[in-house]
Structure 1
């Protein structure tokens, strides 16, 4: 079992969820977060004063899947979250880590059947 964490631009969320639904991925957690990487924010003008916005709005997706689905899910997220053309700085990141155990609270199921 694997845990995929993807940080994407908020306006790409619908594209990613639709693409994942098309291949049968149903368990997704989405959280609104703020952060920056190489993009390092931007400057804005407010009432004549310029200020820097360091943390940009992003969406964090968490998806627990079977190990044999990782490559397909990562590729779908990568394609659906990428900006048009060559992509742009700030398109996001995808992290994959091992998931030792999963428990379904309602039924008590354990392991991959609990996904």
Structure 2
């Protein structure tokens, strides 16, 4: 079992969700987060004053899947999250971690049965 964590641009959330749904992934947790990487934020002008926006709005997706689905999930997220289909700085990152145990609270099912 694996936990795929993806950080993407907020306006790409619907595209990524729909693409994941098409390959049979239905359980996703989405959280609004802020952060920066190579973008390092940007400067904006507000009421005549310039200020730096260090942390940019992002969406963090968490998807628990079987190990056999990792490559397809990564491929779908990578394709759907790219800006203009070609990719730009700030499009996001994908992290994959091992899941040692999963329990469905309602039924007590464990591991892959709980996914």
TM-score range, shorter chain: over 0.9
Residue 100 of structure 1 is matched in structure 2 by 100
Residue 14 of structure 2 is matched in structure 1 by 14
Distance 2:72 2:90 in 1: 22
TM-score by length of 2: 0.98
Measure how far apart 1:10 and its partner are.
0.1
CA deviations 1:18-47 (Å, max 9, x no partner) are 000011101100000000000000000011
Unaligned runs of 5+ in 2: none
SS at match of 1:59: strand
Unaligned runs of 5+ in 1: none
Measure how far apart 1:85 and its partner are.
4.5
Residue 44 of structure 1 is matched in structure 2 by 44
Root mean square deviation, CA, Å: 0.6
TM-score by length of 1: 0.98
Residue 35 of structure 1 is matched in structure 2 by 35
Measure how far apart 1:86 and its partner are.
2.9
Distance 1:38 1:86 in 2: 17
Count how many residue pairs are aligned between Structure 1 and Structure 2: 115
SS at match of 2:73: helix
CA deviations 1:77-114 (Å, max 9, x no partner) are 00000111431100000000100010000000011000
